[in-house]
Amino acid sequence: MSKTFFSDDHEYVTVDGDTAPAGVAGMIATVGITDYAQNALGDVVYVELPKVGANISKGDQAGVVESVKSASEVYAPVSGEIVAVNAALEGDPAQVNQDPLGKGWFYKIRIANQNELSALKDESAYAAYTKEL
């Protein structure tokens, strides 16, 4: 059973035991931008992803997403090691608009500190947060 968390910077983290690439141990999470974020950006035309093997800390820049309107940094909602990236976005960045919480994911991370998840919002808290914006 997967559980999704949301950051104030409009990234999501989905933790699911089935998301680990072959040969990768530890709690693995999938990270991308939320539907709210992709709507605000408009048509996504380019995505810069982190490097597999990179270690990032919560709050670090983990990528860039560019749209016809603007460019925006993607921040790491949790710390850990990048274990996979969604290379399909290089050829088809529009997947971020079409399916942000599905095929439009950015990277998978081996979470270094599971306690960081408690600082993120659940779906209902994130929905309430975005209504205030």
Strands 44-48 and 80-85: unpaired
Q: Is the pLDDT at 23 greater than 80, yes or no? A: no
In the prediction, which pLDDT does 2 show? Answer: 85
In the prediction, which pLDDT does 60 show? Answer: 97
Provide CB contacts within 8 A for 26, sequence distance 6+: 20, 110, 111
Q: Which domains does the chain have, with CATH numbers?
A: 3-115 (2.40.50.100)
In the prediction, which pLDDT does 71 show? Answer: 94
d(CA 72, CA 33): 11
In the prediction, which pLDDT does 109 show? Answer: 96
Tens digits of per-residue pLDDT, 75-108?
Answer: 999 999 999 999 999 999 999 999 999 999 999 9
In the prediction, which pLDDT does 43 show? Answer: 97
Average pLDDT on 27-39 reads 96
